[in-house]
Amino acid sequence: MNCPIGVFDSGYGGLTILKELVKKLPEYDFLYLGDNARTPYGTRSFNVVYEYTLQAVKYLFSQNCRLVIIACNTASAKALRNIQQLDLPKIAPDRRVLGVIRPSVEKVAEITRNGHVGVLGTSGTVISESYPIELKKWSGGKVKTVVQEACPMWVPIVENNEIDTFGADYFIEKNIRNILQKDKKLDTLILGCTHYPLLLNVIKKYVPNKIKILEQGEIVAYKLLDYLTRHPEIGNKLTRNGKIQFQTTEATENFENKAALFLGREIKANNIHL
């Protein structure tokens, strides 16, 4: 029986995480689920994001995933804690759900030299204050100031494949200018949304070279490898045939075309209902 690692995002963004997971853990099986029919999550309320994310996690459990990575900052910020603390003990005490915020926060503490950190994210992630709270908690006092900027147009730009357009440039330049004005001493900028690495070429045009831009894919992959080594009770139950499946709540044709663009190779997807 196939026992893949579940990777969940509201849409395409989680593919930036999946790509790095596959690079670091090529022998494992993965099942990617994009809730493209209901994306974006970033502008939705706490309760809605929690409900949608829990549905996705339950679905991935039904597909035999013993470990699920929430490859979405918005869902990690708004749903992960409740799922871990309230739902898992009831529905699947022997399974695990991990997010993307904690690994990123730990990495920032290693990188920043002056403790001035900026976070770019969806409105939901920014309003949740998850990054400032977690950065204070897990950086061992290294992070002194955290400024945030909500970038509500960036996910629709990615989802609608408007990356190489004047519109993308306009919104990205505007949000970067805003965050740079909020703290003139910024030395580290977190791309706190898994969609944003797909905009990296444009983002880099407006961020001064001295500021380190932190992408999450590689960090999450490294942390997962470490987690599996420390938790053989989970790792040993996962199958390793190097098989990757893709599922979407939207039309498969759209998903296959765009995912191929983002991953740089052809893929086949199945449509599912949550």
Site residues, ligand DGL (CB under 6 A): 9-11, 13, 39-42, 72-74, 122, 125, 155, 193-195
Interacting residues of 119 by C-beta distance below 8 A, sequence separation 6+: 125, 126, 131, 132, 146, 147, 148, 149, 189, 190, 192
Closest CA to 53 of 8, 104, 7, 95: 8
Strand residues in the chain grouped as ranges (E): 5-9, 30-34, 67-70, 96-98, 116-121, 145-150, 188-191, 212-214, 244-248, 269-271
The SS3 of residue 260 is helix
In angstroms, what is the minimal distance from the CB of 193 to ligand DGL? Answer: 4
CB of 34 to ligand DGL, least distance (A): 10
Q: Which of 26, 27, 21 has its CA nearest to residue 9?
A: 21
Q: Residue 104 or 139: which CB sits closer to ligand DGL?
A: 104
Of the residues 3, 65, 72, 151, which is catalytic?
72
CB 91 within 8 A of CB 54: no
Give the closest residue to 185 by CA, choosing from 245, 117, 242, 250.
Answer: 117
Q: Find the shortest distance in angstroms from Cβ 119 to ligand DGL.
A: 11
Q: What are phi and psi of 67, to 5 degrees?
A: -135, 130
Whose Cβ is closer to ligand DGL: residue 73's or residue 249's? 73
Q: Tell me whether residue 193 is one of the annotated catalytic residues.
A: yes
CB of 32 to ligand DGL, least distance (A): 13
Q: Is 3 a catalytic residue?
A: no
Spatial distance between the Cα atoms of 216 and 262, rounded to a whole number of angstroms: 16
Nearer to ligand DGL, 7 or 155 (CB): 155
- What span, in angstroms and rounded, lies between the C-alpha atoms of 51 and 75? 10
CB of 90 to ligand DGL, least distance (A): 26
- Phi and psi, residue 272, nearest 5°: -135, 165
Q: Among residues 66 and 255, whose Cβ is nearest to ligand DGL?
A: 255
Closer to ligand DGL by Cβ: residue 191 or 238 = 191
Active-site residue set: 72, 193
